[in-house]
Structure formats: structure tokens, C-alpha cells
Amino acid sequence: MPKRVLLGLLLACGLAAPALAQEPKTGGVVNAVIQPEPPGLMLAQVQNGPTQMVSGNIFEGLLRYSPKLEPLPELAESWSVSEDAKTYTFKLKKGVTWHDGKPFTAADVLFSMEMLKQTHARARTNLAQVDKIETPDDYTVVFTLKQPFGPFLGIFEVGSMPIVPKHLYEGTDWKTNPYNNAPVGTGPFMFKEWQKGSFIRLVKNPNYHEKGKPYLDEIYWQIIPDAAARSVAYETGKVDVLPGGSVENFDVPRLSKLKDTCVTGAGWEFFSPLAWLWLNNRQGPLADKRVRQAIMYAVDRDFAKDVIWNGLGKVATGPSASTIKYYTDDVKKYPYDPAKAKALLKEAGYKGEKIRLLPLAYGETWQRWGEAVKQNLMDVGMNIETIATDVAGGNQKIGDWDYDIAFTYLYQYGDPALGVGRNYISSNIAKGQVFNNVEGYSNPEIDKLFADGAVATPDSKRKELYEKAQKILVEDVPVAWMLELQFPTITRCKVKNLITTGIGVNDGFKDAWLDK
Amino acid sequence: MKQFWKSMLRSPSGVVGLVILLLAIAIAVFGPMLFPNSPWRMVQRPFLPPFTLGTVPLGTDALGRDVFAGMIFGARVSLLVGLVSTLVALVVGIPIGAMAGYFGGRVDDALMRFTEFFQTIPSFALAIVLVAILQPSIYSIVASIAVVSWPPVARLVRGEVLSLRTREYVQAAIVTGQSNSWIILREILPNALSPVIVLASLMVATAILLESSLAFLGLGDPNLISWGYMVGAGRTVIRQAWWITVFPGVAILISVLGLNLIGEGLNDALNPRLSREGR
């Protein structure tokens, strides 16, 4: 007998409660910055950050996720899991229409899965566990898995699995379909116009399926290529919303102090970007575990957090960000301790061999961070040489394993099976990749723990496996974990309720309203 | 020689320029000995304004690094790049110009077309491309600045040699059967040098500016601090912390100005007739 999960509805009520304190007002136009200009808006085919940010308001997924990453209803109003954890049944919301007025049904979901398997790399991987998808009626979708897959309910967010209109895409060439330039979704806002290099304009969907929403009339996504000009645009009142990462960190404190300005680090829980240093485990001094541990002790991560990231974020304790399921901080600790680092280097017999450091060419913040880490490591006697490179050149070097230490940050997607294990299991060692197991760490025990963890039931069993994996990894230091990043979102305080979910601005305008 | 110094010291701009240059060289050579702390080290809290703490007289940058230490170590890089790349440009430019001017004809044509090839490309753009391809390091920066700055030297030397070649004493040397290289090295070049020296002093200034511009754009050697790097890194925070950009900027201004003044003074000293007529 399937156990019905109505948790989602309960949660939705819980979330709505604080908003009731102040009655949302209808109407108004919001100007937000989008940086950089997205290459396209067809979310099922383009997954760049800025595309997700704009199109997350046009398209919808079956589910949304709370800041604690519990699933919330969106196009699916309820869902249930069979006893053997292999069959997931979604009940779709009735009365949902596409922006062109056609009704949304289970056939659209089925079609979307077909398209995503071809056009969306991450969705393809996520769907690999699915044996078959069936639609017994117009408002029911049943996913049958090959084996139980713990994180399955975590893959239905709009950016990971957007639902696209079957009636506009079926039988056409998806890549050249004219609707790619004027996307049609079920979301709270409809695409209106895109002046390339200037702005993208979305307007309210009057027939939106959640009564009363959205509250705003229009959203203008302003495209401003220069970081300093983006700050000025906020100061002069041209824009009201600066999503995470759209201004330099150094500008954040100044902008935060402006009148009527609200800053939050929330809204990134689903992605939980974690920054670390790839350490090339294959060769040279870094092949020695003690040298890798020395790096953990040598780098002043509190300094990086307080000075380079202006106090936003959190010092990482291990391979999982603290927002990820089954996270544990009951692991070996690496406080800033240069003396201990020196002792470990001596013990490992490090004699000043040259070590190459690749910073991340993503702008000033990352450059400064590279300089600070280099100085930290030089202070304990390591001979570091910074290699200057652009993004493409850096990716090439990392993909060719031609580095010793390299900066990176990766999204974790809420579950260790989706975003953590991929960086440490030996089957993911492959030349030419800049994600996955770039460091060349290989440990059969870790392979087994992550393999078992993905499919284990019940939850307590998964927890046990993943906690064990975290302990082993933190002891071995395959990579040097730095910070759980937070990208502050800066808004005029009159913009209310923009960030209510773990996906943040990417699907936030649905609930946002303007206090005039 | 005595005559040279006398007229050099008579021109006020030459004296001022010399003082500035000597000061800069002294800072570059002895400064790092007096302030042994690495300019990359985070020593104080970030964004400390200047003149508030004796230990960091010019304040600290976005990471809490000493701006004063950066200035001193930056002097070394800026001067080194300026002098070495000019030297390399001279080593490339003088022989090419001398050969073109002396041999004339097809040799001249070939060498000058080759030179023009470099002159037609905007020099800063070419320098950026070269550094980006070779990956930023002190060597690639010196090399690319040299590559973009030798053509004017070659043109200048060629012009001088062309006019000197027709002088009687050169003709005499040819008649007495001296070898070509001997004539170029011993008879012609020494007499062609004075404008080259003036040009070289200005080239050092240009090279310092070029290096600063490259570093400003993030194409400096990531392991060496330079004034241009400091200006570039401080640019994003100029509204919160003017001192990070202003002090190294002033340092660039003064040293480039000093070198230009020296160039002027040299011009006066080496062409006494010209300068006296000019007054």
C-alpha cells in the first residue's frame, strides 16, 4: 500500500504563515540585474546560471524546494512513494494552462522527459535510474525506478527538470524551434521581449494557476556588462535587485549600508556552492596525505571568509556543505595552525619542491583569494608559483591534470548522491573533465560507501554510510575544502518575499511583491 | 664627457629627472633590504587608511597588505621591466637599422618592410596578445614590450646611418678597405648614438607605462607585485579606499615624468647647438 505524502502541502502552509504578517500588495514593476546576459532562455536546452535565473520564472518544475530542501508542490500537487521505494506517483495540478492558453497535462511531463534526456546533461544522469515513466491518466505521472534511489525526490526543481509544452515542440527540430526565442511555459511570468544587450522583459501571467499570484506586473532584467556600472545602477535607483554574484564582493558592504537596502545570503541552499582547492593526488609532494593535511592547516579560511567574502559564507568542514543531507561535523578538524602545517611538511619530507597554483579567473574576488592562499602556503614554507590563466586555459590545464593546486567551486544539489560523491569516486576519474574526480583520488572503500549510499534504504542507513564516507574523506584530504559560499542578494527593502525557497531568485518572483 | 655633464647639469629638467631616476633606483635596489617583509603578506586589517599607523604608513589594501611595501617592491619590477625591455629593444633595433641604412638597396627594403609589419599593428594590442599567448610572466612581459618597441629604434638608426654613410670619413674608411662591420661599429654608430640615447630614455618611460597597463589589465606576472597591478587591483575599491590606487598611480606618474625630463636634458646636452639655437 502506498503511503501518501502530504508533507508538501503542510509545508506550503507553514511557509505562507510569516508572509501573512503583512498582506501582499498587487502591482508594480521590478528592475533586476542579470549578469552575464544569458545565451538563451529555453531552459530545457540551456542551463547557464543567468538562464536559470530568468527562465525559472517562465517555466516550472514538478516540485520546488524549501530552504531545508524539503519538496514543495508546484506543478505536482501531491506525490507518493511505494513501500519498496521504487515507484513514485505524482498527482498533477488541475487547471494549469500554458502561456498560450492550452491545458497542461501529464503528456507534457512525459514529453519533457524525452527532450531533457537529449538536451540536459544533468537531467540525463538523474533520469538514468528511471526504468519507465507512465501516465495512467491526464493528471498522474508514475516513475518506476530500476532500484531504490534515495535522492530521487530532489531532482524536480525547475532548472534541473523544467516542464516544456509538448504541443509546441513535438515533431519539430527542438534546437531551431522558434519558441526557443520566445519561450512558453506555465510559470508566473510570461516572456514579452528581449532587447539584446539591454534588457529582458517579463510580464505577469494573468491566468496563473496559483490564485492571486504573481503580485508584480512586470520584471525587467537589465543587462549591464560592467561590475562598477551595476553598482552605480543600483545606487541611482535604476535597478532594485542585485542577484548573488552580480556585483564585486568589495562593493557589497558599501551597497548594504545604503538606505532601504536589504541583504541576504539565503536562496542558495539547493545549490550550496562549495569552494575547494583541487589537489593533484597523483604526483609530487601532494601525493602524500600529510602534505595535503598541511595545506588544510596552513590556509587561513576564516580570513578568506571575513576579508575576501566580507563575512558571508561558512568555513567548510568537509566534502558536504552543511545544508546537504546527511552532513556531519563530527569529523577531523583543521583549524588555522601554521605550526602544525610546518611540522607535517617536515614529517612528509617536503624540501621546497615547486608547487603550481591555478587561481580561478572569475574576477577580482577569486584573484585576491588566490593571492591570499598563496601567501598562507608560502608562510609555512611551501614554494608556490601562481600560474596566470583565463577560464578556458585553466579548464584545459585542470582537465589535462596539469596542475598541483587549483581553485574551484561546485554546486551540490542537496543530496550527496547528486552532488558530493561524484567528486571522490574512482569511476569518475577521466581526463578532459573539469568537474567530478579531477584530483585523482581513488579509495575502494569510498567507492563502495557512495555506491551503497545512493540506493540504501531506509534513510538512517544512508545517513550511516554517508557519515562514514565524510569521516574517511576528511582524514584523507583528497581536496582542500575552503568555504561554503554565499552569494549575497541585495535588494531594495520594498521588494518583499523575493527569496522564500532553497532556489532563491531563480524561482523567487512568483511570491515577490512590492511595498509601495 | 665633461662637456656633456656640464650641459646636462645646466638644464634644470635634466637635473630634476636625474634626481628622480636616482631616487627610484635607490628605492628599487635598497628598499627591499630595508623592508624585508613580502608585499603579499597580510599584515594589518584591510582598508586601513594611510597615515594612521606608523608600521603601514600608506595604509593597507583589500587584503590588509602594506601599500608602502608594495610601492617599494613595485619600483623594482617597474624599473627592471623598463630597463631590460628597452635594452632588448635596442639590441634588436640598432643592428637592423644600421644594416638597413648602411647596405641600402634590397637589404634596406627587406628589413624596412619587416619593420613596418610591426609598426602597422597597434603596439599595445600586440603586447596584450603576445603576453596572453605566452602566459603572463616577467619574461613574456619583457619580451613583448621589446617586440613592440624596437621598430622606432630601427627607423631612427637607419636614418642616422643613411646620412652618416655619405660623410667623407666613412667614404675614406671604405676606400682604405676596412671591413663593413668595422666601419659600422667604429665609424658610424658612435656618431649616431646621441639621438638613440635620447630615444632610449623615453622608451624606458613608455615601457614602464606599458608594463603598468598590462598589469592593470591583469596580465602582470602573478608572482611579482608591480605598480600597475596595484592600481588594477585597487580600481574596484577606489570609492572605498582611494589610497590603494592613488599612491602607486603617483609613483608611475613621477617615474615616467622623471624619465621624460631626463630625455629632454639629454637632448639638450647631446645637441648643444640645437638647444642653444632653440633658446
| pLDDT for residue B225 | 92
User: How large a percentage of chain A has pLDDT more than 70?
Assistant: 96
The answer to whether residue B40 neighbours chain A at the CB level (below 8 Å) is yes
For residue B114, pLDDT over 50 is answered with: yes
User: Are A375 and B38 in contact (CB < 8 Å)?
Assistant: yes
* ipTM of the complex as predicted: 0.83
Tell me the CA distances in angstroms from A252 to A243, A263, A273, B61, B239, one per residue in order. 12, 9, 19, 16, 12
Chain B residues whose CB is inside 8 A of the A387 CB are: 135, 222
Nearest-by-Cβ selection for A254 from B38, B220, B239: B239
Out of A133-142, A225-234, A247-256, the most confident range is A133-142
Cβ B40–A308 below 8 Å, yes or no?
Answer: no
Size of interface A-B (CB pairs under 8 A): 56
pLDDT at A3 over 80: no
pLDDT of residue B274: 59
The edge-to-edge listing of strands for the beta sheet with A3-5 is A3-5, A76-81, A87-92, A140-145, A130-134
Q: What would you measure as the largest C-alpha separation in chain A, in angstroms?
A: 71
Alpha-carbon dihedral angle through residues B10, B12, B14, B15, given to the nearest 10 degrees: 90
CA distance A87 to A148: 9
Longest dimension (CA), chain B: 74
Which residue in A has a C-alpha nearest to residue B140's C-alpha? Answer: A388
Residue B36: the pLDDT is: 75
* pLDDT tens-place string over residues A505-515: 998 899 999 98
Chain A interface residues facing chain B, Cβ-Cβ under 8 Å? 227-228, 248, 250-251, 253-254, 303, 307-308, 359, 364, 367-368, 370-372, 374-375, 378-379, 385-390, 393
Pairwise CB contact (< 8 Å): B38 & A378: yes
Which residues, listed in sequence order, are joined to residue A140 by a DSSP beta bridge?
Answer: A91
Per-residue pLDDT band for A15 (boundaries 50, 70, 90) equals very low
> At A38, is the pLDDT very low, low, confident or very high (cuts 50, 70, 90)?
confident
Q: Is pLDDT at A86 greater than 70 in this prediction?
A: yes
CB B202 within 8 A of CB B258: no
Question: Residue A21: its pLDDT value, please?
Answer: 55
pLDDT number for residue A436: 81
| Nearest residue of A to residue B38, measured between CA atoms | A375
- Mean pLDDT check: name the lowest of A74-78, A413-417, A467-471: A413-417
Q: What's the pLDDT tens digit per position in B215-233?
A: 988 899 999 999 999 998 8
Give the pLDDT of residue B272: 64
The most confident of A218-232, A288-302, A433-447, by mean pLDDT: A288-302
* B-chain residues near A371 (CB < 8 A): 40, 63, 222
Scored b (16 or more CB within 10 A) or e, B171-210 reads: eebeeeeeeeeebbeebbbeebebbbebbbbbbbbbbbbb
Q: Which residue has the higher pLDDT, A455 or A78?
A: A78
Q: In this prediction, what percent of chain B has a pLDDT beyond 90?
A: 63
User: pLDDT-derived band of residue B279, with 50, 70 and 90 as boundaries?
Assistant: very low
Average pLDDT for residues A183-204, to the nearest whole number? 95
| pLDDT for position A347 | 95
User: Would you say how long chain B is, in residues?
Assistant: 279
d(CA A150, CA A129): 11
A192 CB burial (10 A radius; 0-12, 13-18, 19+): middle
The pLDDT of residue A17 is 43
